[in-house]
Amino acid sequence: MRVAVVQMNSGQDKQVNFARASRLLARARQQDARWAVLPENFSFMAGDDESRALLAENFDHSETMEWLRDQARSLGMGLIAGGVLLRLKGWQKPRNISCVINAKGQCVARYAKMHLFDADVDGGCYRESDAIEAGDEPCIVDLDGMLAGLSICYDLRFPELYRYYASRHCHVFVVTAAFTEETGAAHWHVLVRARAIENQCYVLASAQQGEHPGGRRTHGHSMIVDPWGVVLAECACAGEDIAVADIDMACLDRVRQRLPVLRHRRLC
């Protein structure tokens, strides 16, 4: 199955972001991708989490969700997009949601970011939990016969989430991210490849890149990694781009047969 990851430099103008994403998704479809992954905050990137939270959309009347459904239908391609800040009845605060839209334009799954980014890095103080509520459960979705475990950005640092997915027979991990330049330069490649290698799964990692409102800088390097840890495709280090590769289930089976680490686990 051919898949694509999209790299963006999103800002505060939602319509501009939609137009940019539309052009990138069209490129992915022209290369025969059946699924494409959009990065965290693809539709709106504010200078701080409080500003983002103020503009969170109601899930049942979301402009972003409607745009995603229209894009999926018109392109005939499945989309995974997140995080989108959404509100739903019963939640105390907005949640950072990764949404899965099939090629018919139906939302078939959603995942709320479980690990919130509260850190002092890159010359800034980030307190995602001040404005956003954490999700409380993982999400596995069937992508045309391929089981995928969903995650968002800071989740990548918590290997137990990915081992949970691997132990439930996932073939692919999806990571939508906006890693800061400082943390990304030091850790992004290592973490993405580590999650692939230790769990013998493909990883589709889509990220923001460049400078955004408020001076925030993100690392980019969106990539697709195979179960052996090989980077199959990677976006340009600067600017908006797509990376496309084929998911080969036979490759996944070969890796797991040659080096059956998942069967050799002693601690669960």
Q: Name the catalytic one among 40, 181, 234, 240.
A: 40
Q: Name the catalytic one among 99, 139, 153, 170.
A: 153
Amino acid making up residue 19: A
Decide the pairing of beta strands 202-207 and 209-211. Answer: unpaired
Q: Name the catalytic one among 14, 57, 99, 113.
A: 113
Which among 216, 193, 197 is positioned nearest to 205, based on CA atoms? 193
Cβ–Cβ < 8 Å for 173, 151:
yes
> Would you state the torsion angle of the CA atoms of residues 193, 196, 202, 203, taken in this order, to the nearest 10 degrees?
-50
Round to whole Å and give the CA distance between 9 and 248. Answer: 30
- As a 3-state breakdown, the chain gives helix, strand, coil percent values, each rounded to 5, of 35, 35, 35
Helices and strands (DSSP H and E) totals, the chain: 7, 17
Round to whole Å and give the CA distance between 150 and 97. Answer: 10
CA-to-CA separations, 102 to 44, 52, 73, 80, 107, in angstroms, rounded? 22, 26, 8, 9, 7
Which among 251, 247, 217, 255 is positioned nearest to 5, based on CA atoms? 247
Amino acid making up residue 180: T
Question: Quick check: is 104 catalytic?
Answer: no
Question: Quick check: is 113 catalytic?
Answer: yes
Q: What is the Cα 255 distance to its own chain's centre?
A: 24
Active site residues: 40, 113, 153
